[in-house]
């Protein structure tokens, strides 16, 4: 994995541990010479991450819709800014050029990007590892809800388990390196069966 896309807050968050986490991710990227792909902003945790890498002469690629570039949140010092038309196109591009994805604490933008890569993996449009850096237990309640969704029969356990989680970037990377995609066959058979599609066979 040489190119990793990070989703993270356009805000800093209220706990200084979040900024520390963004710096620890940058430190890992520097040590292992990993290229960053991200939302391209110069605000929040995104700024911490990009700036730390740039100070260490590492490659940072931003992907941003024109609409956001014009609002002047774009980072002017990054190695490359890819301008796209829409938010949907941005996610497509992120998925195309990255080998894996990490979500750091963030808000709806981060949740949206995280959901998108999870569903692409689920549908096997993509087979790339997705990890959550669970700094200060920020994602605990979301993960609890995902477990609830498994319990209630809306998310399959194997899809839930394929979302890799750690509060430590080294450990998270190790999990991502061992990632293996979930096969689609059984899942599709099961959801068809529960909807009565097998009664005519
Ligand atoms: P949020 O988690 O809601 O702060 O949104 C951050 C995520 O959504 C990032 O990973 C970005 O790709 C995208 N995003 C949201 N707001 C912005 C912004 N102002 N500038 C750039 N990207 C943004």
**Residue 134 carries which DSSP code?**
-
User: Going by CA atoms, what residue is nearest to atom 14 of ligand 1?
Assistant: 109
Indicate the pTM of the whole model.
Answer: 0.95
Give the model confidence (pLDDT) of 137-182 as tens digits. 999 999 999 999 999 999 999 999 999 999 999 999 999 999 998 8
Give the model confidence (pLDDT) of 184-195 as tens digits. 878 888 899 999
Give the model confidence (pLDDT) of 6-30 as tens digits. 999 999 999 999 999 999 999 999 9
What's the rounded Cα separation, in Å, for the pair 90 and 61?
Answer: 12
Alpha carbon of 125 to ligand 1 centroid (Å):
23
Query: What phi and psi values does residue 155 have, to the nearest 5 degrees?
Result: -125, 135
Q: Are 97 and 79 in contact (CB under 8 A)?
A: no
Ligand 1 binding residues, C-beta < 6 A: 7-11, 39-41, 43, 64, 68, 73, 106-110, 113
What's the rounded Cα separation, in Å, for the pair 71 and 74?
Answer: 8
Model pLDDT, residue 135: 98
Model pLDDT, residue 88: 96
User: What is 3-197's CATH number?
Assistant: 3.40.50.450
Bridge partners, residue 80, by sequence: 61
What's the rounded Cα separation, in Å, for the pair 62 and 50?
Answer: 9
Domain boundaries in the chain? 3-197
Model pLDDT, residue 127: 94
Model pLDDT, residue 107: 98
Atom of ligand 1 nearest to the CA of 10: 4
């Amino acid at each position: 994995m040489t190119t990793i896309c990070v989703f993270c807050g356009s805000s800093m968050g209220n706990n200084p541990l979040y900024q520390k986490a963004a710096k620890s991710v940058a430190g890992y990227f520097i040590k292992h010479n990993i290229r960053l792909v991200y939302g391209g902003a110069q605000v929040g945790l995104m700024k911490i991450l990009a700036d730390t890498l740039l100070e260490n002469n590492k490659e940072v690629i931003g992907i941003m819709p024109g609409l956001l570039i014009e609002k002047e949140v774009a980072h002017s010092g990054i190695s490359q800014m890819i301008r796209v038309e829409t938010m949907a196109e941005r996610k497509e591009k992120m998925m195309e050029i990255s080998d894996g994805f990490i979500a750091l604490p963030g808000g709806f933008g981060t949740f949206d990007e995280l959901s998108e890569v999870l569903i692409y993996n689920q549908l096997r449009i993509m087979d790339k590892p997705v990890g959550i850096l669970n700094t200060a237990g920020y994602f605990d309640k979301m993960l609890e809800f995902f477990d609830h969704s498994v319990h209630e029969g809306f998310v399959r356990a194997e899809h839930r388990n394929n979302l890799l989680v750690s509060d430590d970037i080294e450990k998270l990377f190790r999990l991502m390196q061992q990632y293996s995609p979930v096969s689609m066959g059984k899942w599709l058979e099961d959801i068809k069966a529960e909807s009565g599609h097998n009664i005519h066979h």
